[in-house]
Amino acid sequence: MTSLALEMCASRLLGAYFGTSLFIWGNLIGLILLYLMVGYFLGGRFADRYPHTRVLCMITAVAGISIIIIPFVCQSILTWSVTGLEQVSVGIFLGSLVGTMLLFAIPVILLGLVSPFAVRLVTSDVKKSGRVSGSLYAISTVGSILGAFLPVLWLIPTFGVRRTILIFGVVLLAASLWGLLPRWQRVSYILPAPALAILLTIALLIQMGPLKEIPHLIHEQESYYNYIQVTREPDGTRQLILNEGQAIHSVYNPQKQDILTGWYWDYFLAAPYFNKGIQPSQVKRVGIIGLAGGTVARQFTQVYNNVQIDGAEIDPAIVRVGRQYFNMNEPNLHVYTQDGRTFLAASKHTYDIVAIDAFQQPYIPFQFTTREFFTQVRNHLSSTGVVALNTGHTAKDYRLVQAFVNTLSTVFPSVYVFNVPGTINTEIMATMQPTSLDTFRANLSQFSAETTLGQLATEVLPVATRGRVDGGIVFTDDKAPIEQITDQLLLNYILQP
């Protein structure tokens, strides 16, 4: 139970600093398996040499103590990892990642000793060794199930990842100390239950502070899906930051009236203007996949006169944060707390625009990248509908952008690319009807420079280009190597001079 719980908690600790890439998960799972392998090997030898219950309980007691220490030493290592990432230093980045994994080496190796030790202690008759080992492994699997589900469904969202580690460490230590008592004392000993309750209470009351310290923090919490932080900058701007914090997912400043942010969110507002003669009043309904704190929804509400908006956000905690800190309370906004693809499949509405801004940094979830998904989007668009999505590139590597252009071109007749100046963001838009950049420019140019749409035109028109198919990869539900391409982009970014 404890070893599986540690693995779940380790993924959450790393996610707040490194994200949840395949590279991170591969290191986590691979190293934990390595630690368990070492523990299994040593456990068999120790069990044959010291076949005593007290020895096993001493091992698990030390494991419990080493687990209890983790929450108090992890932050300095993880903070160092952030420094390394900001400096784009490969040595510090990889070194801190290995250092983080080493936090779990001692307890997981010690927990690996348990299974062979238990088999050796319980087996008194070789003829029954199969039955005994099978029963022990069945019990162990029940513990693994508890260790997988308890942190995810209850402990981490309720108490946080570090207190969850403390809870499992305390439980393991208490069970180990009880096992170290002589048998007659164990039978008559009444104290373990209240003592355990006191230890758990202390663990829960310990003030751990934020999992990750960042400037201007006003709110932080752990949800089923994310580590959520909200900051308030000196000018009053609130920012929604998720997990490793290398991207800002929503912004809001209650003191400013200007709806444009100067960031990539603004570009979604330009999506309708590929259609000839389009007027703002003709935009009736918008679908947003990846609602976050509602920046895009707030912009559409103000620019398109309370257009009906359906927003999908998988994390209900983000929705609550959006309403509390980002004024995401528009009466025309209908929030769906579910996966964006599931939301779209169940929707009965037709949309003039579908905006996709769903990131589990640094990745776009693969189900929002494929030809089959964009076919589903097309089936929910009006005859003049437009799909717009946010993706990324590096200074010289546009492979991900090109893959999206290739994929969208298999579903839509016209695809357009907007590389947002000064950022690594690229906005891609595709239209239901054959359209042109000339129409797009003519439509936006009609707005006065003093209006919001006129200001938007000065942002988007200089960088608007037509997407060109190059015959390369097309993402499908069967094959969408979004993680592999993104990892290569990140590696190239880190290695570039």
Catalytic annotation, residues: 357
Question: In Å, what is the CA distance from 5 to each residue of 96, 104, 177?
Answer: 22, 12, 20
Q: Which two tokens stand for residue 135?
A: 């029963």
Cα(422)–Cα(311) distance, integer angstroms: 28
Instruction: Using alpha carbons, list the distances in angstroms from residue 492 to 37, 199, 287, 421.
Output: 34, 48, 34, 20
Name the residue among 140, 170, 186, 181 with its Cα closest to residue 54: 181
Q: In a 10 Å sphere around its CB, with 0-12 CB exposed, 13-18 middle and 19+ buried, how is residue 305 labelled?
A: exposed
**Listed residue (198, 200, 220) closest to 210, CA to CA:** 220
Between the alpha carbon of residue 102 and those of residues 16, 28, 96, the distances in Å are 17, 10, 10
Token couple for 384: 């003049």
| Contact between residue 31 and residue 21 where contact means Cβ atoms under 8 Å apart | no
Can you say whether the dihedral through the CA atoms of 18, 20, 21, 22 is positive or negative? positive
Q: How far is CA 11 from CA 8, 25, 291, in A?
A: 5, 7, 25
- State the DSSP code for 21: -
Helix segments in 273-339, DSSP class H: 295-303, 316-325
Residue 473 region, left (φ>0) first, then alpha (ψ -120 to 50), else beta? Answer: beta
Query: Per DSSP, which regions of 248-340 are E strands?
Result: 248-252, 285-289, 308-312, 333-336
Q: If you ran DSSP here, which 8-state letter would residue 412 be given?
A: -
DSSP for 60-74, please give it.
HHHHHHHHHHHHHHH
User: How do 425-431 and 414-419 pair as beta strands?
Assistant: antiparallel
Backbone phi, then psi, for 84, in 5-degree steps? -65, -40
